[in-house]
């Protein structure tokens, strides 16, 4: 059985790396990997860490790329790969342009679609943008839906997808995290060297951000909040690996450069980022993946979004939506710094997203399902 695993951005690569490894370890699968390279540097960091050599690299990233250009290119170039490889199915993950456009190309060529991390919803067309529509449209093109949680499965059932094609398996991001965290801890000395500019006796606020719906005023508000927090808490180390999107780089560098306790650093490779996460005290992020990882390491997460499709962590009390209101962000970070009880409540370590066995479950289910398909088509 030939499967083609397709991805293009950093989070897809991290969340599909355990799947690539899992399928490669099973003799029944002929595994091909195609990267669109919607991201370049940030994708290459993940390929290197997980030692994945793609069979096809479409090399599509252009600086400041538009959604329409990228979507068209992925459909066109993926189609060529599908015609060449003729896989039994393709595997896509999440909600990026690569995810949706690769699924669309597979549909045009009547190739089955496996969707990992299916059923996440806000039901708000423009939040997150364009991810909410990407995942809804990908679901319509999907044959095997791998939902991370029961709630995601319920969303798919409500949308009339057939129960027999939906499987709750947890999120593969936890597989990636657990594959990594022990290694990172064993390399502690190396990372201390790499981050020599940090005073590790001090508490650390770790920040990431890149959501399109926050571009403009939203980002300015968040950066102003970080500036206020930095000035009010000189003994807090603030570490911000800044996403390479120019819409992020500009406001972050303009508002946050020159503060001695704010460290603006390039996107970190996954090992280094997990080390930072593990050492951090509080996480402020709009990232989907970081929202899922932080509770596993017992870190309270403040989410700089008005809505989230990862409601499980909010309900468990380990994540809070703070939007992009400067005062709200400042208030909640300060409360986490000053109020021990509040901090404890938000860091009790319930992780609703999986136990690190998602990729194994997905491979087992697909192995069974695809062999039934192929024996049916032989008869």
Which residue numbers are catalytic? 95, 117, 131, 210, 212, 243
Please report, as residue ranges, which positions from 280 to 299 form the binding site for ligand UDP (by CB under 6 A).
287-290, 293
Q: x-or-dash pattern for ligand UDP, window 158-187, by CB under 6 A?
A: ---------------x--------------
Per this entry, what is the length of the chain? 379
CB atoms within 10 A of CB 131: 22
65 or 334: CB nearest ligand UD1: 65
The partner in contact with residue 268, picked from ligand UD1, ligand UDP, none with C-beta cut-offs of 5 to 8 angstroms by kind, is ligand UDP
Q: x-or-dash pattern for ligand UD1, window 7-26, by CB under 6 A?
A: --xxx---------------
Window of 39-47, 276-284, 291-299, 316-324 that interacts with ligand UD1 by CB under 6 A? 39-47
> Rounded to an integer, what distance in angstroms lies between the CA atom of residue 40 and that of residue 252?
21
The partner in contact with residue 289, picked from ligand UDP, ligand UD1, none with C-beta cut-offs of 5 to 8 angstroms by kind, is ligand UDP
Window of 25-33, 34-42, 165-173, 216-224 that interacts with ligand UD1 by CB under 6 A? 34-42
Would you count residue 39 as binding ligand UD1 (CB under 6 A)? yes
Would you count residue 268 as binding ligand UD1 (CB under 6 A)? no
| Cβ 301 to ligand UD1 shortest distance, Å | 16
| Cβ 297 to ligand UDP shortest distance, Å | 10
Would you count residue 244 as binding ligand UD1 (CB under 6 A)? yes
Task: Catalog residues that contact ligand UD1 under the rule CB under 6 A.
Answer: 9-11, 38-42, 61, 63-65, 67, 95-97, 130-131, 210, 244-246
């Amino acid at each position: 059985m030939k499967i083609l695993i397709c991805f293009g951005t950093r989070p897809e690569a991290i969340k599909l790396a355990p799947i690539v490894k899992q399928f490669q370890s099973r003799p029944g699968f002929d595994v091909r990997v195609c990267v669109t390279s919607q991201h370049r540097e940030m994708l290459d960091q993940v390929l290197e860490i997980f030692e994945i050599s793609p069979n096809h690299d479409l090399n599509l990233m252009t600086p400041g790329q538009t959604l329409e250009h990228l979507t068209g290119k992925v459909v066109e170039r993926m189609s060529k790969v599908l015609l060449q490889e003729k896989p039994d199915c393709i595997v896509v993950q999440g909600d990026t342009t690569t995810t949706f456009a690769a699924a669309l190309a597979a549909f045009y060529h009547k190739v089955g679609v496996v969707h990992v991390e299916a059923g996440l919803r806000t039901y708000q067309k423009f939040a997150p943008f364009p991810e909410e529509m990407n995942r809804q449209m990908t679901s319509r093109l999907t044959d095997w839906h791998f939902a991370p949680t029961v709630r995601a499965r319920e969303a798919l059932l409500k949308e009339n997808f057939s129960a027999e094609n939906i499987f709750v398996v947890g999120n593969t991001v936890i597989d990636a995290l657990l594959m990594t965290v022990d290694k990172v801890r064993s390399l502690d000395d190396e990372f201390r060297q790499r981050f020599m500019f940090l005073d590790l006796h001090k508490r650390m606020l770790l920040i990431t951000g890149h959501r399109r719906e926050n571009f403009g005023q939203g980002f300015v508000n968040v950066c102003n909040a970080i500036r206020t927090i930095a000035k009010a808490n000189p003994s807090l180390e603030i570490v911000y690996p800044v996403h390479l999107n120019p819409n992020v780089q500009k406001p972050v560098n303009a508002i946050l450069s020159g503060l001695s306790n704010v460290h603006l650093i390039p996107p970190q490779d996954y090992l280094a980022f997990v080390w930072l996460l593990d050492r951090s005290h509080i996480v402020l992020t709009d990232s989907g993946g970081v929202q899922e990882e932080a509770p596993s390491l017992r870190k309270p997460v403040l989410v700089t979004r008005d809505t989230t499709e990862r409601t499980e962590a909010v309900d468990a009390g380990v994540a809070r939506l703070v939007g992009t209101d400067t005062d709200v962000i400042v208030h909640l970070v300060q409360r986490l710094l000053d109020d021990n009880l509040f901090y404890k409540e938000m860091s009790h370590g319930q992780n609703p997203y999986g136990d690190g066995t998602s990729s194994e479950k997905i491979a087992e289910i697909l192995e069974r399902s695809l062999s039934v398909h192929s024996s049916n088509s032989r008869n």
